[in-house]
Structure 1
Amino acid sequence: MKTLATLSLIIFTIFFTSCDETKKVIDVAGSVQLTGSYTVSALNGKKLVDTTNPTFTLSALDNSVRGTTGCNSIFGNYTLDLYSLSFGDLAVSEKMCMDKNIMKSERDFLDALNNTGSYTLDNGILTLYSKTDRSVLLNAKKDTNN
């Protein structure tokens, strides 16, 4: 009986350790897949037509995000867990931008990052979804030069 209990404990430990390792591999693979630079093409379902579209770069090495809102610079961190994606508190420079359209895009872009709950990456298009209702917050095209 003692041997059976020990054997069961060993099998139980191996099973749960391997599940944890599999999850880590999936998380790393997802983070590597997301690594790259992106140009935002739509916010809240509306295409951006301005030449100062927000851009950002995701790095799997340190789970960092860096970019520009079209006027101000941003940097911070992101957390990835399977298909769940969220951004931590972002630091933003505080330049005054005179163009009201750029300022609106900046607010919408920052709101999209702050409200992200999940994502898809399909044919080089990153789509960020709301953490509350899965509505599309942002579409961004991955730079193929990375």
Structure 2
Amino acid sequence: MKNLVLIIAVVLLGSMSSCEETKKVIGVAGSVQLSGNYMVTDITGAPDKISKEGDPLTINFAALDRSIRGNTGCNTYFGTYTIDLYALSFSDIGATERACSEPVMAKESAFMMALGNTGSYELQNNILTLFSKTDRSVLLTAKKEVQE
């Protein structure tokens, strides 16, 4: 009886550690999949925010240190991201503090709010979609820059 309990405990322990390893592999794969530069094409609820005024909105994911950086249309920003399967969140976001025209600052504000509210993502055909953590509504879309 003791041997049976010991065998069950070993099997359970082995399966739990393999689940953790599987989660790590999936997280790394997702991070590598996201790696690269993206040009923001739409911020939901604010289509006029992607105006021609200001610099293009960009997101650059670096898988090695799970960092992000880019341009908000006026300022540059940086931070980190956490990924777990399709869950995605951003943290430690900082930015320069340059002042720009009101339409550009409105675009920047909508973009930063979208990053702060992100809970998950989807990447299909080089189009990144960020979804809200509360109701899975679309926050923004971005096109991945493909290296040729």
Q: TM tier, shorter chain?
A: over 0.9
1:55 aligns with one of 53, 58, 63:
58
> TM-score, normalised to structure 1's length?
0.94
Q: Distance in 1 between matches of 2:51 and 2:106?
A: 13
Q: Which runs of 5+ in 2 are unaligned?
A: none
Which residue in 1 is equivalent to 2:22? 22
1:138 aligns with one of 122, 137, 140:
140
The letter of the residue matching 1:19 is C
> TM-score, normalised to structure 2's length?
0.93
**Residues 29-61 of structure 1 deviation map (CA, whole Å, 9 limit, x = unaligned):** 001000111110000152724162211100110
The letter of the residue matching 1:143 is E
Q: Distance in 2 between matches of 1:81 and 1:145?
A: 26
**Aligned residues: percent identity?**
51
Specify the SS of the correspondent of 2:17: helix
Q: Distance in 1 between matches of 2:35 and 2:61?
A: 5
Q: Distance in 1 between matches of 2:59 and 2:120?
A: 17
2:129 aligns with one of 127, 130, 138:
127
Would you say how many aligned residue pairs link Structure 1 and Structure 2? 145
Specify the SS of the correspondent of 1:90: strand
Q: Using the TM superposition, give the Cα deviation of residue 2 of structure 1 relative to its aligned residue in structure 2, in angstroms.
A: 1.5
Cα RMSD of the aligned pairs, angstroms, is: 1.4
